[in-house]
Amino acid sequence: MEEENNTSPSEFKNGINSGKPMNGSSNGSSYDLNGWKYISIRGAPRERGYTYGYYIATDFIEVQKMLNFVVYNDTGEQWQYFIDKGAELLKPTIMEKFREFYEELEGITDGINAYARENGLGQSDGDGVTTVDEVLAWNNSMTLLDYWYPNRGGDGTASSSRGARGEGGAADRCSAFIAVGDGVTEDGGIVVAHNNFSNFADGQWAHVVVDIYPENGERILMQTFPGWIWSGTDFFVTTAGIIGTETTIGGFLPFENNSPISCRIRQAMQYGKSLDEYVDILLKDNSGDYANSWLFGDINTKEIMRFELGLKYHSVERTKSGYYIGFNAAYDPRIRNLECTNSGFNDTRRHQGARRVRLEDLMQENIGKINLAVAKKIIADHYDVYLEKEDNPCSRTVCSHYYQDKREYMSDPSRPLPNQPRGALDGCVVDSAQARAMSFELIYGNSCGTPFSKDDFCNEFRQWAYLKPYLHDRPTQPWTVFKIADYGETEESNLVEETEPETEPEYEEEQGGKKRRKRHKPVKLSTLKNNRKYEILRRKRMKTLRRWK
C-alpha cells in the first residue's frame, strides 16, 4: 500500500505542531498522521517530560475515563486502588534506582496539568487533572494489573493461576519475527516485523510515536502509549544501532516486587550499547513482570538475539545468520512448564500453537528474500493452520482478529471469549537501513488494513456493547514512515524520504468575510540554540552522531 499524507495543512507544517509547551520554549514538536500521534522531545528529564505531557494531555484525559471504567469492570477494584498500590510498591524503587525516569514522569504530569489548565480542562481549584502517582501507575499498569494483582496475597510473590482479567496467567500479546544474514534476508541485513494485539479498549491507545533525545545516553524512536516513558508494545530503534521488539509469554504466573519492567527496558534502550548490555540490564532486579521473548538486533555487528526472560529462568540464543519468531509461548521448557500455565505451545486450536506453526512456515517460504515488503505480508497473514483455510482472520492468525472469531474450537474457556473486542491493532516493520537512519514504518488499525467500526461491531455482538463509549473506529490507514526529528544539528540530514509535504502548505481561510493566504508557522528553535547549555550539548551530540554513523 502506498504511503500517503492524510493530515490537513491546518494541522501541521512539516511535522511541527503549533502548540507551545514549556511556556513557549521549543524543545519538541508534534503532529498527527494516518492514525498516529508523533512527538519529538529533548532536554533534561523534567523538561522533556513536560513537553511530552503537554502534547498528550487530551489523550491522557480520555485514557483516564477508560481506566476508571475498564479496570473497575474487569477487576472489581477502582483505578484509584492501583494508583495507590503503585505509589506504595513501585514508586520508592523508581525514585531511588531510576531517578531520571521519575523526574521525566513528574514532567509529564506537569505538562498534562498545564495543558488542562490553559484549556479549561482542569479542576476549579487549579489542582490539575492528574498526579505523578497516576502517571506512574499508568506507565506500570501491566505490572500492576497482570502480574502484581494476581499475586497480591501473602508476600506478593506466590504463583497464581488466576489472571487479573479472568485469564489463566498473564495475557498474551503480539506476533513478531527478526531475521538476518546472507541467504536469509534479501540484503543480509536485519529485518524485523511486529504487531500488537490487545483488548481494543486499552490497546488502541498505543498510537503514539515518540522520539526521545535525552541529555545523556542514546536517542530513542519508539511506538508507545500516551505518556509512557517506555514502549510497552514493544517496538523501537536507538542510536546505539539496537532494534528491539518482543512477544509476551502467555500464561505467565510468578512475580516479585523488584524493579519494574518499565524502567529496566527504558534503562536498556537509553544506555545499552550492545546485546550483552541489554541482557544484563533486564536481568538486574528482574520482577518477572511483562515476561517476554525479547527479540533484539544489533545493526553494527549484524547479530540478532532471542532473550526469553521469565522470573527464575531465562535463555539467550544468538545468530548472525537465521531468524527467530515470537508467538506468546516460550521455547525454554523451564519457563514454559515451571512458570506458566496453559501455554498453548503445541495446541493449534490456540493462537500460540497455530502461530508457531504458521510463522515458521512463512519464514521458510520466504528464506533468502525477506525484506520490508515481505515482512508486511507476513505480519498481515490470515492463514488458519487449525482449519487449513487460506483466508480466515481469527484468533489463530498472525494478524489476529479475535473479534471476528466465535471461538467454537476454544480449548481453554479461561482464554479470550467469543468475539471479544481484541486483536491486532497495528503493524510495524524495520530493517537495518531504516534503523541506521533512525526510522521505521508503521500501519495503524491492524496489520492487514481491515477497517473496524465500533457501531457495526457493537450492534452485531451486543454482549460487548457496554464498551462502545471506550472504543474507537479504526478506518483503513496506509503504511507510514516515521523518523527522528531534524533539529538542524548536522549539515546533511540522515533521515529517509519524508512522507509529509516537503514545501510549506498554504491554504485560504475566511476572516471577516474576506479570504487571505495563511501559513502554518513552525515552532522556533532559537530559544534553545541561543542557550549556552544547549550549545555545549549540541556539540557533544554531533560528535556522538558522527561516531555512530
What are 185-234's pLDDT values in tens digits?
999 999 999 999 999 999 999 999 999 999 999 999 999 999 999 999 99
Neighbours of 513 (CB within 10 A): 5
Per-residue pLDDT, 21 = 54
Per-residue pLDDT, 416 = 76
CA 100 → CA 72, 110, 362, 524, 548, distances in Å? 32, 15, 42, 27, 24
pLDDT interval class at 161 (50, 70, 90): very low
Q: Which residues 6+ apart lie within 8 Å of 17 measured at CB? A: 29, 30, 31, 55, 523
Residue 359 near residue 325 (C-beta atoms within 8 A): yes
Q: Which residues 6+ apart lie within 8 Å of 485 measured at CB? A: 15, 29, 40, 211, 213
Residue 348 near residue 385 (C-beta atoms within 8 A): yes
Q: Is the pLDDT of residue 534 over 80?
A: no
The cell for 284 is 538486574
Q: Is the pLDDT of residue 535 over 80?
A: no
The mean per-residue pLDDT over the stretch 10-18 comes to: 33
Per-residue pLDDT, 512 = 41
**Helices within 235-311 (DSSP H only):** 261-271, 275-283
Residue 435 near residue 241 (C-beta atoms within 8 A): yes
User: Where does 22-483 sit in CATH, by number?
Assistant: 3.60.60.30
pLDDT interval class at 171 (50, 70, 90): confident
Residue 345 near residue 336 (C-beta atoms within 8 A): yes
Sort 549 into a burial class: Cβ within 10 Å, 0-12 / 13-18 / 19+: exposed
Neighbours of 318 (CB within 10 A): 17
Higher pLDDT, 235 or 172: 235
Q: Is the pLDDT of residue 155 over 80?
A: no
Percent above pLDDT 70 for the chain: 79
Q: Is the pLDDT of residue 7 over 90?
A: no
pLDDT interval class at 414 (50, 70, 90): low
pLDDT interval class at 128 (50, 70, 90): confident
What are the domain boundaries of the chain?
22-483
What are 278-304's pLDDT values in tens digits?
999 999 999 999 999 999 999 999 999
Q: Is the pLDDT of residue 52 over 50?
A: yes
**Helix orientation angle between 99-118 and 261-271, rounded to the nearest 10 degrees:** 100
Neighbours of 96 (CB within 10 A): 10
Per-residue pLDDT, 509 = 38
The mean per-residue pLDDT over the stretch 297-325 comes to: 98
Positive or negative, the CA dihedral 140, 143, 146, 149 is: negative
Across-strand partners of 180?
A: 322
> What is the gyration radius of the CA atoms in the chain, in angstroms?
22
pLDDT interval class at 113 (50, 70, 90): very high
Per the prediction, the chain carries an average pLDDT of 85
Per-residue pLDDT, 407 = 85
Cβ-defined contacts of 528-537 (< 8 Å, 24+): 528/25, 528/26, 528/27, 534/43, 537/215
The mean per-residue pLDDT over the stretch 470-490 comes to: 90
Neighbours of 493 (CB within 10 A): 13
Q: Which residues 6+ apart lie within 8 Å of 487 measured at CB? A: 42, 213, 525
pLDDT interval class at 125 (50, 70, 90): low
Per-residue pLDDT, 526 = 33
pLDDT interval class at 172 (50, 70, 90): confident
Residue 291 near residue 309 (C-beta atoms within 8 A): yes
Q: Is the pLDDT of residue 425 over 50?
A: yes
pLDDT interval class at 168 (50, 70, 90): low
Per-residue pLDDT, 123 = 61
Q: Closest Cα to residue 204, out of 414, 457, 502? A: 457
Sort 432 into a burial class: Cβ within 10 Å, 0-12 / 13-18 / 19+: buried
The mean per-residue pLDDT over the stretch 471-499 comes to: 73
Q: Is the pLDDT of residue 542 over 60?
A: no
Per-residue pLDDT, 121 = 87
Q: Is the pLDDT of residue 492 over 60?
A: no
The whole-angstrom separation of Cα 530 and Cα 388 is: 64
DSSP string, 304-360: EEEEEE-SS-EEEEEESSEEEEE-SS-SSHHHHHHSBS---TT-TTSHHHHHHHHHH
Q: Closest Cα to residue 38, out of 17, 58, 54? A: 17
List the single range of 3-17, 128-142, 361-375 with lowest mean pLDDT.
3-17
What are 256-265's pLDDT values in tens digits?
999 999 999 9
pTM of the model: 0.85
Instruction: Name the region of 85 (left: φ>0; alpha: ψ -120 to 50; beta: rest).
Output: alpha
